[in-house]
Amino acid sequence: MTVYVLDASAWLRLFLADGPFPAGLEEAAVRVERGAAAFVAPELVLVEAAHALNRKCQRGFLSIKERDALWKDLRRTPIDLLPIHEHVDRALVLSGEHRISTYDALYMAIAEHLGAPLLTADAALAKVAARI
């Protein structure tokens, strides 16, 4: 079964049309929905997505009711959540090598470990991931 590492920006893009879809995201989502593939992410993805939704609410882009409804929809997405502690050492190395946040590097470390593509709406992260 194909596995895709899904970061918070790509996960949110599935529910909020606030920018272009990352390359491969739509196809991956269809494959996951059909049971032919799986999304994986570090547990951190929950906090990052919740934080992003809360910021949109605080800035007036979403009401609390809209935020809560989106959160419920997001949580229905089948994502295998992986423990952070197993990948943080490699993430620290990758963050230093590529001058990215350790948060972003965590997704890269998991993608590297699994030999899986990283789906992200973050153009800078996608550029770094494409080089690895």
Burial of 77 (0-12, 13-18, 19+ CB in 10 A): middle
Domain extent, residue 52, equals 2-131
Its pTM stands at 0.93
Give 21's pLDDT tier (boundaries 50, 70, 90): confident
Q: What would the pLDDT profile of 79-125 be if each residue is shown by its tens digit?
A: 999 999 999 999 999 999 999 999 999 999 999 999 999 999 998 88
Residue 108 belongs to domain with CATH number: 3.40.50.1010
**Total number of domains constituting the chain:** 1
DSSP code string of 82-131? E-GGGTHHHHHHHHHHHT--HHHHHHHHHHHHHT-PEE-S-HHHHHHHHH
